[in-house]
Amino acid sequence: MPKPLIDVVKRGGARSTERFDREKLHASVLAACLSVRSPQGMAETAATSVCNVVLGWCESRPEITSDDLRRVASRHLELIHPEAAYLYKHHRLVL
């Protein structure tokens, strides 16, 4: 399947846009799941599920913001892994 050509506008618009990268999203969701001590298999499944939902949401949008991406991903992750969703959603606030 070809990669979608979706531009992600970075936070605050200070940095230039970048192409949506499914692997980058997958890695960040996976890291959140593993940080709350999820088994590897469960974390992989959750990350794949979130990526699929986000891709479906992105299909009709040529441009999204990084905040949009985080909001949609965390909303879906909350349904399948609430602890990881909290960490993913509030990653900038966690020390």
Each residue of 20-63: pLDDT tens digit?
899 999 999 999 999 999 999 999 999 999 999 999 998 888 88
Per the structure, how many domains does the chain have? Answer: 1
> Residue 11 domain-assigned?
no
* Phi, psi (rounded to 5 degrees) for 63: -150, 140
Q: Using CA atoms, how far apart are residues 21 and 36, in angstroms rounded to an integer?
A: 24
**Where in the sequence is the domain holding 28, given as residue range(s)?**
23-89
> Residue 59 domain-assigned?
yes
> Residue 4 domain-assigned?
no
* Phi, psi (rounded to 5 degrees) for 29: -70, -40
- The single-letter DSSP state of residue 60 is T
pTM of structure:
0.83
Q: Using CA atoms, how far apart are residues 7 and 46, in angstroms rounded to an integer?
A: 24
